[in-house]
Chains A and B, each alone.
Chain A
């Protein structure tokens, strides 16, 4: 017990239940389900939003795919702060190489996409994390982009939808990453005090410093089935308590039962449920927004009614 953080050789970082992205949209025509081992036709799996048709296992999904899945018109999404790139404040070993590798892998400069778009007729500010970029970890860029997204929503009096998928704060930026927990939690609170809605969606995994800051703080917290949700890493807990941990301790379903998640929603129903929430909480629908409430600045270059 005494040595939980010292000298025990066992623990590793929190990992998603499956390898990210590599199996995300696998090459080849066929792909095997992690959970039930059924071999699935890749085109069918993609059409099915990465849900196994046999056992409903949710395959990992990239941030870009999530955007396409959630938005009424993905083409009309106005991305913000895409030019923010991470630095290397501590000159941390291997950080540059890892960023380079994951830029190639994901096409993203860091682990989040932010911007404004429309979900089920409701204008929203949307932020989606990318697990494929350094495990979705939160450093300066993720913290800053999230804070700006909440600020933008505050200015435009818009709801925020965040889809998290992250192992926590980014080790490579040290203490600066830790401080992003405050930056994002404070941005949530400021937005909240203006009476605006924040829907937090937990994808696999949502853990450590991300669960311990903005991700757990939605007015409504939704999880994808089977997502890992928790604070301390499983191996760390096992090393500390010296015994096996129940395998379902940190599944979305257990965390739901423990009272920290409002809804567990399969991916193919997520857009509908978010739309329902936006309605139930009285968020302005598109026509109202165009007529009365101010649009977010970033959207002004789009003709409000053009795509319908």
Chain B
């Protein structure tokens, strides 16, 4: 990737640049090139469709990791009329790799929680590249239990490459916290809508990913293991991640087919980073739709359905 442009997008980006040049030329020199521009725009549109509707799983993974892809706080800013971030797990510290707090979405009082990647190097260092420690999950669970107390629906926005492989994270029991999140989230008596917005890396994602509706953005991935680690295990070669990505069935389309997710949230052509507001608008519409559908279900019934949903996930042989 050069300047945020993937190799496979190059022909399109070059074409778009050419169109821009011609438009500039038209403006500055007053020469009418609209016919040429129109022709070019038509082929650009064709190229766009061709490129973005045929992305390989590995290309989707890279889209999900695009440095300009909207982060959790970016989405919250666009989705929520109001949001106040709360801090601290009440045991160890505040983990900046997970954000959360009360919000208003389309007039509804909700709680939004999600891992937070940095938008530049400095913020990434502060936020540990969006990789939570156990206290981050503890904070998430605290906020989720609080949401249950106040009968507020929970929205989780998930973009995390995985649990943090760090010494302190192990010492402070990240496996235990992930398990507790999964365990207690399963029984929360409020509607939960989870959206994989970017990366959905194994237990680190599932820890805040148990819900009544699981949505996935078009260019997100969700898997039991990252393609690189899978390739390392299978072929002792992380360079074969692209191949591993195929085998893992980790794209939104794959997961819809496997009935793991309920809906794919479309992204603007070329990915969410190309038009953040448009991406957020589509995300918001999907979230509201599902919150509405869940709003009138009796809380105990909601939990029963949630448990039953996961209970049927499995594939037995003969």
Contact = CB atoms under 8 A, between A and B. Distances in A.
B182 to A, nearest CB: 5
B170 A93 contact: no
Contacts, number: 210
B11 interface: no
B224 A5 contact: no
Given A4-B165, A90-B249, A260-B176, A173 B186 contact: no
Interface residues of B, number: 63
B316 A144 contact: yes
A106 interface: no
Contacts of B167: 237, 241, 245-246, 249
Contact of A92 (B238, B247, B260): B247
B218 to A, nearest CB: 17
A254 B311 CA distance: 34
B232 A11 contact: yes
Given A188-B183, A232-B163, A240-B166, A147 B234 contact: no
B173 A183 contact: no
A209 interface: yes
B20 to A, nearest CB: 32
B255 interface: yes
Contacts of B166: 232, 237, 240-241
B83 interface: no
Given A171-B224, A175-B223, A181-B206, A9 B238 contact: yes
Nearest to A4: B165
Contacts of A175: 222-224, 248-250, 255, 258, 260
B179 interface: yes
B111 interface: no
A181 B183 CA distance: 9
A183 B178 contact: no
A18 interface: no
B162 interface: yes
Contacts of B315: 86-87, 89, 140, 173, 176
A168 B22 CA distance: 57
A115 B206 CA distance: 29
Given A189-B187, A237-B165, A5 B170 contact: no
Contacts of B316: 84-87, 140-141, 144
A1 interface: yes
A169 B202 CA distance: 9
B295 interface: no
A60 interface: no
B107 interface: no
B228 A185 contact: no
Interface residues of A, number: 73
A213 interface: yes
| Residue from A94, A171, A254 having most chain B Cβ neighbours under 10 A | A171
B282 interface: no
Interface in A88-103: 88-90, 92-94
B161 interface: yes
Contacts of B226: 5-6
Contacts of B225: 169, 171
A180 interface: yes
Contacts of B182: 181-182, 185-186, 212-213
23 contacts: A5-B226, A8-B228, A12-B236, A85-B317, A85-B318, A86-B315, A87-B317, A93-B247, A176-B315, A178-B206, A211-B176, A211-B179, A212-B178, A212-B203, A213-B178, A216-B179, A217-B179, A230-B175, A231-B174, A231-B203, A232-B164, A232-B166, A249-B170
Given A6-B228, A179-B310, A179-B314, 19 more contacts: A7-B239, A86-B315, A87-B315, A89-B258, A169-B224, A173-B315, A175-B255, A176-B315, A181-B179, A185-B186, A186-B183, A207-B175, A208-B175, A212-B174, A217-B179, A217-B180, A239-B165, A250-B170, A259-B173
